[in-house]
Amino acid sequence: MNYTTQMDAARKGIITNEMKIVAEKENIDKEILRKLLAEGKVVIPANKNHKSLSPEGIGEGLRTKINVNLGVSKDCKSFEKEMKKVKVALEMKVESIMDLSSYGKTSEFRKNLIDMSPAMIGTVPVYDAVGFYDKELSDITVDEFFDVVEKHAEDGVDFVTIHAGLNRETIEVFKRNKRITNIVSRGGSLMYAWMELNNAENPFFEHYDRLLDICEKYDLTLSLGDACRPGSINDSTDACQIKELMILGELTLRAWRRNVQVMIEGPGHMALNEIAANMILEKRLCHGAPFYVLGPIVTDVAPGYDHITSAIGGAVAAANGADFLCYVTPAEHLRLPSLEDMKEGIIASKIAAHAADIAKKVNGAREWDNEMSKARQELNWEKMFNLAMDPEKARRYRKESLPEHEDSCTMCGKMCSMRNMNKIMNGKNINILREDN
């Protein structure tokens, strides 16, 4: 039986090869996964032209996935440095990379990335439009916007961020309700500017069916962007954010009628006590579609540490229903991330995702922690390193400060609780002050 997209296959009762791989990775029954795909509660972003892909599922009942943003910019245009980041990110087993390149040989970078990456690849085509056509934003035509989307799809991109919910109606709500930071979404601000300069409707909203044609042709997953995401905790959960979310819910239903897979993008900066309610709102207004969040960043006053502010918010968000976390690095708001910034951002996001998976009772999540706890009780350092989320750092810290006794560390020495409890429970003397063991 033929099918156009993963959702189309699921609705026809077909279990695709991609579904089989995801079911095995997630330790979930294939038929349960197929049903969730058919309902739109899970997506498997898998462009027909991405031949190196190792598919991943995003959504209800599955592990929380993380995304890494990479790409060249005008101020930092080293193709080689960004490609080195790609290789390290893949070594760290990230599930997704978004190529946010906005300058130079974007097509070459994107094609190389797709050719080598088993991780799913996402893009924001509007970033690429200015450089691709070498035209000012206001001069780009509707056809040219859609041609860029199709070019990315043809290259093999698995999902695209499209800010289709920022229509004239949303803009009017935005104008009536003042914010401190206005529109902070880069793609959203570009689309807002184009609409204002041309006194026109958002082409991706006005010609949404044309966008769905492209998505259906390549099985391109639509990541409906949050142009009105809050860029400060003052602006969160306001009128325009919710207005846009309502429109995204309507666009989700239209996409599903065409068997197009959909994710919804979300905040942004947000006070800790608002996060759980925002997750409920998204799932309700967008009919259970997977939720992809940036952060949320829970305070605005920690530049240089926003991987931490984001991990705090990300753990709360994912524990309350978010399915996909976009990493944030220490360089957020300050510069293009370095390789080390990227690594710190990945680890912080992985910690947040895993903490949430424990709370959500995802298959196998708690077992990993239990294995680490057993290794600690046994004082089995090698096993601890192998189980660690970042084995390299754990080994380095141990090596940099070796204890007198192997069955302890330089924090507690012979007062180590694990060491002494093991001895006492085996009927031995703990000998804290004497030189013998």
Annotated ligand binding at 271? The verdict is: no
Q: What per-residue confidence (pLDDT) applies to 407?
A: 81
Q: At 279, which amino acid appears?
A: M
pLDDT at 437 over 60: no
Domains of the chain: 48-359 (3.20.20.540)
Q: Are 103 and 131 in contact (CB under 8 A)?
A: yes
What percent of the chain is predicted at pLDDT more than 70? 98
Residue 54 φ/ψ, nearest 5 degrees: -105, 100
Annotated ligand binding at 226? The verdict is: yes
Annotated ligand binding at 163? The verdict is: yes
Annotated ligand binding at 187? The verdict is: yes
Annotated ligand binding at 50? The verdict is: no
Q: What per-residue confidence (pLDDT) applies to 410?
A: 86
Annotated ligand binding at 412? The verdict is: yes
Q: Is 401 left (phi over 0), alpha (psi -120 to 50) or beta?
A: beta
Closest Cα partner for 267 from 297, 287, 308? 297
Annotated ligand binding at 76? The verdict is: no
Annotated ligand binding at 265? The verdict is: yes
Annotated ligand binding at 307? The verdict is: no
What would the pLDDT profile of 255-265 be if each residue is shown by its tens digit?
999 999 999 99
What would the pLDDT profile of 86-126 be if each residue is shown by its tens digit?
999 999 999 999 998 877 778 888 999 999 999 999 999 99
User: In this structure, what token pair is assigned to residue 429?
Assistant: 């003397």
Measured CA to CA, the distance from residue 79 to residue 62 in angstroms comes to 34
Annotated ligand binding at 397? The verdict is: no
Q: Are 46 and 158 in contact (CB under 8 A)?
A: yes
What would the pLDDT profile of 186-223 be if each residue is shown by its tens digit?
999 999 999 999 999 999 999 999 999 999 999 999 99
Annotated ligand binding at 127? The verdict is: yes
Place of tokens 């959500």: 360
Annotated ligand binding at 69? The verdict is: yes
